[in-house]
Amino acid sequence: MQNAHNAYRNATVETQKPPTRGDLLALAYTELESSFGQWAGFPFGDPDPSRQIVEAKVRLLVVGLIAGIEPQETPLNRNLRGLLRFLLDTIDINDLERRKSALAVTAQLREAFDSIREEAALAERLGTIPSFSQRGNLSVVA
């Protein structure tokens, strides 16, 4: 399985143009799902250094995705922020059922961003939403 960085590089090489914001967000959520799944496989509090690295990666991905949500308090932004905070809080709680729920959330988020990828690319081309190169960040625009 390729990671998000390699997928971004491959997409850029194949198309000779930068991927859209939708592409990059879909890749970020794919990487989050994969990394969260790796983290969930470790026992709670496992001192294994590789668990600590994966946990730090998950925290960075989640915090970065939260930071990219537009600051306006729309229902979409509030719900997305809440789901991502749920994932972040799950890391600090030793609860197997919560881990299972969090894994389902990561899969649903990835599926959601995958499903709107083409629509988001069209909206960027039409100027309905600003492109990644115009914004310089991966913010979610409702």
Identity of the amino acid at 123: A
Which string of b and e fits 60-85 if b means at least 16 CB within 10 Å?
ebbeebbebbeeeeeeebeebbebbe
106, part of any domain: yes
Helix (H, G, I), strand (E, B) or coil at 140: strand
In a domain, 42, yes or no: yes
Domains in the chain: how many in total?
Answer: 1
DSSP-H helix ranges across the chain? 4-15, 21-40, 49-67, 75-90, 96-115, 117-126, 132-135
Within-domain flag for 17:
yes
Range of the domain at 118: 4-135
- For the chain, 142 residues long, give each residue's pLDDT as a single digit of tens: 456 666 666 655 555 677 787 888 889 999 999 999 999 999 988 899 999 999 999 999 999 999 988 888 899 999 999 999 999 999 988 899 999 999 999 999 999 989 988 888 888 888 887 776 665 555 555 4
Confidence at residue 101, expressed as pLDDT on a 0 to 100 scale: 95
41 found inside a domain: yes
Alpha-carbon gap, residue 51 to 8, rounded angstroms: 25
CATH of the domain at 41: 1.20.120.340
The model carries a pTM of 0.77
